[in-house]
């Protein structure tokens, strides 16, 4: 009966109409070449820990603390440093494409030693460098971990991950950055986040319709080159007007499957050609029972009599109650998944069905298995 119910459900649902096209601003599907964030990294110390810092086995921490104290006018040897209130850390941050001296940045602090927790600590002044080895910001201040870790008499309690912390607005920009989106030849390149020739062509057409013919040309599936004729004072308004243009991006047909969590995500207009699906499990169980036939006498007149072991085998064949045989006309993945859900087919089976439909050439979309 289940396959009849499933067929009726699909017949009632019918074939879904393609999703209505939606226009989005250019700022949502790409960016200008040259306008991006820059990564900063630094190496520093966190102090003020309640005995949860690095141990004496961490020679890097001892050397770093000695260097800090020597710059402050105190001369000590590594053997004289025995405190566990210090931890060596890596500090990372993101520098915006446009930053001025004095701007504040958020930083992330993570332990690289054997500290148990950074809770309650304060980061000492740490220079943050870019890949060009220049210092662009300085980070310092109390950190917030959002977790804790305590140990006593072989008992321990931990919440979240206290060896990573954040410092909101804890870094100050020391070197200004002003990214430029205009190339040496006077052009601006718009880069698509999802490369697609149709979308790139539509972007070029929209820009030409707004600013005139031959202003923009789609050079590739991920790049649109725009000729800029204005001055530096007009660049901001020109870029803002381009980003606000509305276009309809080409939809990429995809079905994403996460086998670990049993999740299936697909666009509502991903189509499936006519296909017949037969899905079910057949379980075969072989059970062997052994019985021993023990004679009433072993010794005496018949010394060659021995115990006899008899094995009886039982074969059981069963089919799962969720078996289904369905004939589908041209329909969508949304219809198929909805029908299978109403028929109480579990997610694992849905994934197996979609993979088989793709292998049969009836699923017209890219199947991504995570």
Per residue in 197-209, pLDDT tens?
Answer: 999 999 999 999 9
Q: What residues form DSSP beta bridges with 345?
A: none
Give the DSSP H or E segment for 68: helix 59-71
Quote the percentage of the chain above a pLDDT of 70: 75
* Rounded alpha-carbon distances, angstroms, from residue 249 to 26, 30, 35: 9, 11, 22
Structure tokens at 317: 């064949």
> How much is the average pLDDT of 16-33?
76
* Rounded alpha-carbon distances, angstroms, from residue 30 to 38, 195, 196, 214, 244: 17, 10, 12, 21, 12
Strand 98-99 to strand 86-95: parallel, antiparallel, or no bridges (unpaired)?
Answer: unpaired
pLDDT band at 36 (very low <50, low <70, confident <90, very high): confident
pLDDT of residue 116: 86
Sequence ranges of the domains in the chain? 2-19+254-281+321-369, 24-34+180-247, 38-177, 285-319
Residue predicted with more confidence, 8 or 253:
253
Question: What rounded mean pLDDT belongs to the chain?
Answer: 79
pLDDT of residue 14: 43
DSSP code per residue over 108-120: EEEE-SS-S--TT
> How much is the average pLDDT of 305-329?
61
Please state, in angstroms and rounded to a whole number, the distance separating the CA atoms of residues 367 and 370: 10
Locus of tokens 């993945």:
333
> How much is the average pLDDT of 42-65?
86
For 169-199, what is each residue's pLDDT tens digit? 999 999 988 888 888 788 899 999 888 999 9
- Tell me which fold the domain 24-34+180-247 belongs to: Gyrase A; domain 2 (3.30.1360)
Helices (H) and strands (E) in the chain, counts: 6, 25
> How much is the average pLDDT of 343-368?
79
Locus of tokens 């799962």:
320
Residue predicted with more confidence, 250 or 337:
250
DSSP letter at 53 equals S
For 124-165, what is each residue's pLDDT tens digit? 999 999 999 999 999 999 998 876 565 655 566 666 678 899
Please state, in angstroms and rounded to a whole number, the distance separating the CA atoms of residues 49 and 55: 12
Strand 263-266 to strand 254-258: parallel, antiparallel, or no bridges (unpaired)?
Answer: antiparallel
pLDDT of residue 320: 59
Residue predicted with more confidence, 178 or 29:
29
pLDDT of residue 15: 40
Most confident of 108-112, 113-117, 250-254: 108-112
Which positions ≥6 away from 79 have C-beta within 8 Å? none
Q: What residues form DSSP beta bridges with 25?
A: 246
For 219-245, what is each residue's pLDDT tens digit? 999 999 999 877 767 888 888 999 999
User: Residue 223's Cα: distance from chain center in Å?
Assistant: 25
66 pLDDT higher than 60: yes
pLDDT band at 1 (very low <50, low <70, confident <90, very high): very low
Using only C-alpha atoms, the chain has a radius of gyration, in whole angstroms, of: 34
318 pLDDT higher than 50: yes
23 pLDDT higher than 80: yes
Residue predicted with more confidence, 362 or 123:
123
């Amino acid at each position: 009966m289940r396959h009849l119910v499933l067929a009726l459900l699909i017949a009632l649902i019918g074939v879904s109409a393609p999703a209505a096209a939606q226009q989005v601003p250019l700022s949502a599907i790409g960016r200008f070449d040259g306008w991006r964030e820059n990564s900063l990294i630094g190496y520093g110390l966190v102090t003020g820990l309640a005995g949860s810092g690095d141990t004496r086995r961490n020679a890097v921490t001892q050397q770093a603390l000695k260097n800090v104290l020597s710059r402050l006018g105190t001369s000590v040897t590594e053997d004289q440093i025995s405190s566990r209130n210090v931890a060596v850390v890596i500090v990372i941050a993101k520098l915006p494409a446009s930053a001025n001296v004095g701007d504040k940045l958020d930083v992330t602090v993570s332990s690289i030693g054997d500290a148990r927790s950074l809770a309650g600590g304060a980061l000492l002044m740490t220079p943050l460098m870019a890949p060009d080895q220049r210092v662009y910001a300085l980070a310092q201040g109390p950190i917030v971990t959002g977790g804790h870790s305590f140990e006593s008499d072989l008992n321990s309690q931990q919440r979240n991950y206290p060896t990573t912390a954040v410092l909101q607005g804890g870094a100050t920009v020391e070197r200004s950055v002003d990214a430029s989106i205009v190339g040496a030849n006077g052009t601006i390149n718009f880069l698509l986040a999802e490369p697609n020739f149709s979308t790139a062509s539509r972007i070029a057409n929209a820009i030409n319709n707004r600013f005139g013919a031959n202003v923009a040309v789609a050079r590739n599936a991920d790049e649109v080159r725009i000729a800029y004729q204005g001055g530096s004072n007009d660049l901001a308004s020109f870029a803002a007007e381009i980003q606000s243009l509305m276009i309809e991006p080409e939809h990429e047909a995809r079905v994403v499957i996460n086998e670990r969590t049993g999740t299936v995500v697909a666009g509502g207009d991903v189509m499936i050609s006519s296909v017949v699906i037969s899905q079910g499990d057949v379980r075969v169980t072989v059970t062997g029972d052994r019985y021993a036939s023990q004679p009433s006498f072993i010794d005496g007149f018949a010394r060659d009599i021995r115990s006899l072991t008899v094995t009886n085998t039982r074969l059981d064949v069963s089919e799962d109650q969720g078996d289904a045989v369905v004939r589908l006309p041209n329909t969508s993945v949304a219809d198929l998944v909805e029908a299978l859900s109403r028929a109480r087919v579990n997610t694992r089976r849905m994934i197996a069905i979609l993979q088989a439909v793709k292998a049969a050439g009836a699923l017209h979309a890219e199947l991504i298995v995570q």
